[in-house]
């Protein structure tokens, strides 16, 4: 059977089995569309129904999360964990707390995580979870009670050799602490069941910075291949959370200038470069909106509407907020303004039509599966340190991270050459990520 007949049949089955889940459909289609050349070369994957198995999570968990706010009102949220694939190791992937969280969004994230984790070269399967809970505007006590209720169900499904969650949108050090504490209390077990832990109780130096730093390291690899460097470049970044902040920090360390940042309300334009300490204070300490920035920095401007951040002229664009935030119009504007690299810090932030624009205009496009893999990679290093009960220095972790990102760039470039799609790093990442998981699944029999 022709490869595209196979992938089309798998896609139709996904549509039928997962109605009303557009993000999941989008993520699956993007991968299937690039696997044709692999299936032509290796029909054993087709015979063993590897694709049919990969698009079906190994386990899906959905549960009620009741909690009480500071006034005594009772709320009920929905919690999820999608344990997608364990061919390469324990399920591994973040938890997202955001009001938009749905099965569709977490399934797309869990599916992508399988390929991303494969690219890191570490022993990690893929999973994702979260809840439709909005931490914004909640007190620490409310967030703690929510996290405790969430873990009171999730504890039975996770474990250091089974499933190891971490942070994502709305889940940072505070939330990981509350969830870890409740797990420990219920299980009577101090163990590496989460990554992104506090540095005093099992966390890894460099995990907080890892996604943003890794993103810049891989962008640097792509620049080098063009005979260029970061020094003197102008960079626009969306979001102003964990990934955006540490991408900004690394860009500044390496001589580039970040001129724009955003949140879900709007964006700031700072032509002289953003003052990162102010952003950290506003977003990480005070949990305020990005528009507050212009109160203390008069040369910067703020505008409502987060999508317009891409109107700011830049050499490099790093979307670091959320899925489908960069559309075809934004892509055309970036290409017209001379942008040379787009690297996805967020998961699937560029729409398929936007990615087409980048390919047609020879803008180097580095997909999230490869470009934001630094976070989960250092999570893997945190697991390794926990297993040995030791702590590495920041320098050691950072050097490992740099090596892993360089290696991912090599792997995906190599796949584009071997499978006849030069310059198409999205296809390269899908192919290289897929082959390792597929081979492990073949070796492990029909499970």
Q: Kindly give the residue spans of alpha helices, DSSP state H, lying in 188-299.
A: 207-225, 242-253, 276-280, 293-296
Q: Which is nearer to ligand NDP, 79 or 135 (CB)?
A: 135
Token pair in block for residue 60: 């899906």
Q: Locate 399 and state its tokens.
A: 């050097």
Residue ranges in contact with ligand NDP by CB under 6 A: 167-170, 211, 239-244, 263-265, 306, 320-322, 325, 345-347, 372, 375
Residue nearest to ligand 2IT (CB): 94
Q: Which DSSP helix (H) or strand (E) runs through 66? A: strand 59-68
258 binds, among ligand NDP, ligand 2IT, none (CB under 5 to 8 A by kind): none
The answer to whether 346 and 243 have CB atoms below 8 angstroms apart is yes
Question: Is 128 assigned a catalytic role?
Answer: yes
Question: Between residues 105 and 340, which has the closer beta carbon with respect to ligand 2IT?
Answer: 105
Query: Closest distance between ligand 2IT and the C-beta of residue 109, in Å?
Result: 6
Structure tokens, 30: 């993007």
137 burial via Cβ count (<10 Å: 0-12, 13-18, 19+):
exposed
Around Cβ 190, how many Cβ atoms within 10 Å? Answer: 11
- The option from ligand NDP, ligand 2IT, none interacting with 92 (CB < 5 to 8 A, set by class) reads ligand 2IT
Bridge partner list, 262:
267
Quick one: 116 or 138, whose CB is closer to ligand 2IT? 116
Helix/strand/coil (H, E, C) string of 330-347?
Answer: HHHHHHHCCCCEEECCCC
Q: How far is the CB of 31 from ligand 2IT (least distance, A)?
A: 16
Query: CB of 185: closest distance to ligand NDP in angstroms?
Result: 25
Q: Which does 223 bind (CB under 5 to 8 A by kind): ligand 2IT, ligand NDP, none?
A: none
Question: Which pair of structure tokens corresponds to residue 388?
Answer: 């040995």
Q: Which is nearer to ligand NDP, 45 or 250 (CB)?
A: 250
Q: What does 243 bind: ligand 2IT, ligand NDP, none (CB cut-off 5 to 8 Å by kind)?
A: ligand NDP
| Three-class SS state of 132 | coil
Tell me which of ligand NDP, ligand 2IT, none is bound by residue 269, counting a contact when its beta carbon lies within the kind-specific cut-off of 5 to 8 angstroms.
none
Question: How is 273-341 classified by DSSP, letter by letter?
Answer: ---HHHHHIIIIIS---GGGHHHH-TT-EEEE-GGGGGGS--SEEEE-S-TT-B-HHHHHHHHHTT--E
| Closer of 140 and 231 to ligand NDP (Cβ) | 140
Which of ligand NDP, ligand 2IT, none interacts with 344 (beta carbon under 5 to 8 A by kind)? none
Which value, to the nearest 10 degrees, does the dihedral of the CA atoms of residues 264, 315, 270, 96 take?
20
**Closest separation in Å from C-beta 402 to ligand 2IT:** 17
Angle, nearest 10°, between helix axes 22-32 and 103-120? 30
Q: Which is nearer to ligand 2IT, 94 or 241 (CB)?
A: 94
* 197 contact choice in ligand NDP, ligand 2IT, none (CB below 5 to 8 Å, kind-dependent): none
Catalytic residue among 92, 116, 128, 250: 128
- Of 164 and 230, which CB lies nearer to ligand 2IT in the complex structure? 164
Work out how close the CB of 156 gets to ligand 2IT at its nearest, in angstroms, rounded to a whole number. 20
Q: Are 252 and 258 in contact (CB under 8 A)?
A: yes
Q: Which residue's Cβ has the minimum distance to ligand NDP?
A: 241
331 contact partners, CB below 8 Å, separation of at least 6:
310, 342, 350, 353, 354, 355, 357, 358
Residue 400 C-beta: closest distance to ligand NDP, Å: 16
The nearest distance, CB 168 to ligand 2IT, in angstroms, is 4
Which residues are at the interface with ligand 2IT (CB under 6 A)? 92-94, 113, 116, 166, 168, 195, 347, 375-376, 379
Positions annotated as catalytic residues are 128
């Amino acid at each position: 059977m022709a490869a595209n007949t196979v992938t089309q049949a798998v896609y139709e089955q996904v549509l039928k089995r997962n109605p009303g889940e557009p993000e999941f459909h989008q993520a699956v289609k993007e991968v299937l569309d690039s696997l044709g050349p692999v299936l032509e070369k290796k029909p054993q994957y087709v015979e063993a129904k590897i694709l049919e198995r990969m698009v079906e999570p190994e386990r899906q968990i959905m549960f009620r999360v009741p909690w009480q706010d500071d006034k005594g009102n009772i709320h009920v949220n929905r919690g999820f964990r999608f344990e997608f694939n364990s061919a390469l190791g324990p399920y591994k992937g973040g938890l997202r707390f955001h009001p938009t969280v749905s099965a569709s969004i977490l399934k797309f994230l869990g599916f992508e995580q399988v390929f991303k984790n494969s690219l890191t070269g570490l022993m990690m399967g893929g999973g994702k979870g979260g809840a439709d809970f909005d931490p914004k505007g909640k007190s620490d006590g409310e967030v703690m009670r929510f996290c405790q209720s969430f873990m009171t169900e999730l504890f039975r499904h996770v474990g250091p050799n089974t499933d190891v969650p971490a942070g994502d949108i709305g889940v940072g050090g505070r939330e990981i602490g509350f969830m870890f504490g409740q797990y420990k209390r219920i299980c009577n077990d101090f163990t590496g069941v989460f990554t992104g832990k506090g540095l005093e109780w099992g966390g890894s130096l460099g995990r907080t910075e890892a996604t943003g730093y890794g993103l810049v390291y891989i962008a640097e690899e792509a620049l080098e291949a063009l005979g260029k460097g970061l020094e003197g470049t102008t960079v626009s970044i969306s979001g102003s959370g964990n990934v955006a902040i540490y991408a900004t920090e690394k860009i500044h360390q390496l001589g580039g200038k970040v001129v724009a940042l955003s949140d879900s309300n709007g964006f700031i334009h700072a032509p002289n470069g953003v003052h990162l300490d102010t952003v950290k204070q506003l977003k990480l300490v005070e949990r305020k909106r990005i528009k507050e920035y212009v109160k203390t920095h008069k040369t910067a401007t703020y505008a409502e509407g987060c999508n317009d951040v891409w109107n700011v002229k830049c050499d490099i664009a790093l979307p670091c907020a959320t899925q489908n935030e960069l559309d075809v119009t934004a892509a055309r504007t970036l290409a017209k303004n001379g942008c040379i690299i787009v690297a996805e810090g967020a998961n699937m932030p560029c729409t398929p039509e936007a990615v087409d624009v980048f390919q047609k205009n020879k803008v180097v496009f580095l997909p999230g599966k490869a470009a934001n893999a630094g976070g989960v990679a250092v999570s893997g290093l945190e697991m390794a340190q926990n297993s040995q009960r030791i702590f590495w220095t920041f320098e050691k972790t950072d050097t490992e991270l740099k090596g892993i990102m360089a290696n991912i760039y090599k792997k995906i470039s190599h796949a584009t050459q071997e499978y006849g799609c030069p310059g198409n790093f999205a296809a390269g990442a899908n192919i290289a990520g897929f082959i390792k998981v597929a081979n492990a699944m073949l070796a492990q029999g029909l499970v």
